Each structure stands twice: as C-alpha cells, then as structure tokens.
Amino acid sequence: MNHSTVILEADKLVKTFGDSTALDGLSFQVTKGESLGLLGVNGAGKTTAMNLLLGLTTPTSGTIRMFGKDLWKHRIEILKQVNFSSAYTSLPSNLLVWQNLTVFARLYGVAKPKQRIEELLELLDITHLRKSVTGTLSAGESTRVNLAKALLNEPRLLLLDEPTASLDPDIADRVRKLLRKLQAERGLSILYTSHNMRDIEEVCDRLIFLHGGKVLAEGTPGEVHERFHRSSLEDLFIGVARGEIDAIGLKPL
C-alpha cells in the first residue's frame, strides 16, 4: 500500500463509557478512493467509531490521523476536508432547503456557494426541492438533501452513519448507486456504517466486521463470508448475532 494514499488511519482506538467498552482496540486505514464498510449488529461500536473520527467524542486511548495529520491537533483543518451524513441528524427543519445549504456552504468556505448548490441539487436530482421547507421532506428526499450538504465542500473523505437506515428499498438502492458513482468519478474515500449487508456489499470495496467493539473479520465482502464458511454476509451476520459464531480465536484476514 502506497503510504501517500492513506487518507485515514485509526490506531488502536479504545473507547470506554464507565465500565462498558464500546471499542476495544480498533485499527484500520482508508486509502484514497476506497470505500470501507463498518458492519456489525446494534451496539457493535460503529457509531462510536464514527463519532471518534469526527471529533465529537474523545478516545480513551489510541490515535486518529487524517491526511497525515493528528485529528485533535489539526481538527479544524481536517474537518474542512471531511463531511458527514447520518440518518440520525437533520438540517434545521424550519428553514428552506436552499437556506440550509447556503449556511453550510458558507460554514465550509465554499468559493461559489450558489453555483455549487445548483450543481449538487442537480446531481442528486432534487432541484425541485430548492424552495421546500426542510422539515416537510420525505425520508428519501431528506437523505438526499443531507447528502448534498455532505458534498458541499467536495470532501476527500465522507463519513456516513447508516445513511440508508430510514429509506425504502428503492430509494436506498438509488442512494447506493449514487455513492458508487461519486466514488468512481471523484476519487472520494468513504467510510460507511450499516447493519445492512446489502449496503455494504454494494457500496464497499472492503469491510470490517465489528462485534463487541472488536474486529471479528476484515476483507472484501466475498472474502469475509467465505472465511466463515457461510453462504452470504447476511448468513454470517445472523450467525454472529445469534452467538453461533464466536469472536474468540478468530483473527482478521
């Protein structure tokens, strides 16, 4: 792996909340143009990992480097080149879509906000929503507006926490295809969390299977489920969730 292309480097991340350990020594890298999935059951530690990477939560121990720089020493500089979207956040519901995007374009210091916003509305096929009240959008529309916000600053790294969680299969499929396209066309790196196998298989080049804050397996989607002699990721996932597959004794590929 060419070192210069490493975008994100997490090293031995540990996060404890009181007595419980949400992350137990997570290490991984994301390279330029790569999309990495964090897969795992509820409570596996996916969101915790994401929050650490975004500087929302401080790690108990371990380091995070992005673009070769330490996150906590260069937080603002790094955040300018990163963006985030999640099913669990939204843009202010009482503003119009263009107002929200204008505010964030200015927060990210976008050079030509108006033009950029038009481009993104077109790209995401939501030009007609420009003057809609953000709070009245459907889940699918809202996800696309959130994505527009997440692309405003042409991020080098996009962090997505269950972006398709509230979407129907049709819209979810469209969002996945869009992410694939962006990744291919813009060399965007993506870190994607989901408990949806389909998501990970379609969007991600590589995945980390998290369980109880530990890495259970790592590799391409195909490699991972073959390694556990399961017919599909979904099958593997169910096995882990039901305790038929134990983390003990298993090492990452």
Backbone φ and ψ for 69, nearest 5 degrees, come out as -125, 150
From the list ligand ADP, another protein, Mg ion, none, pick the one residue 4 interacts with, judged by a Cβ distance below 5 to 8 Å according to partner type.
none
Nearest distance, CB of residue 87 and Mg ion, angstroms: 9
Residue 150 · residue 83 · CB < 8 Å: yes
Q: Considering the rule CB under 8 A, would residue 109 count as an interface residue with another protein?
A: yes
Judge whether 156 and 7 are in contact, CB under 8 Å: yes
Q: 187 in the Ramachandran plot: left (φ > 0), alpha (ψ -120 to 50) or beta? A: left
Q: Which among Mg ion, another protein, ligand ADP, none contacts residue 54 (Cβ within 5 to 8 A by kind)?
A: another protein
Shortest Cβ 163–Mg ion spacing (Å)? 12
Instruction: Count the residues of the shown chain that bind another protein, applying the rule CB under 8 A.
Output: 37
Beta-bridge partner residues of 209: 39, 217
CA 166, CA 138: separation in Å to the nearest integer? 10
* Distance (Å, whole) CA 59 – CA 15: 5
Interface with another protein, residue 192, by CB under 8 A? no
What would the x/- binding string for ligand ADP be over residues 104 to 143, using CB under 6 A? Answer: ----------------------------------------
3-state SS, residue 80: coil
Residue 103 CB, nearest approach to another protein (Å): 4
Binding flags for ligand ADP, 16-55, as an x/- string (CB under 6 A): -x--x-x-----------------x-xxxxxxx-------
DSSP element (H, E) containing 45:
none
Site for Mg ion, rule CB under 5 A:
46-47
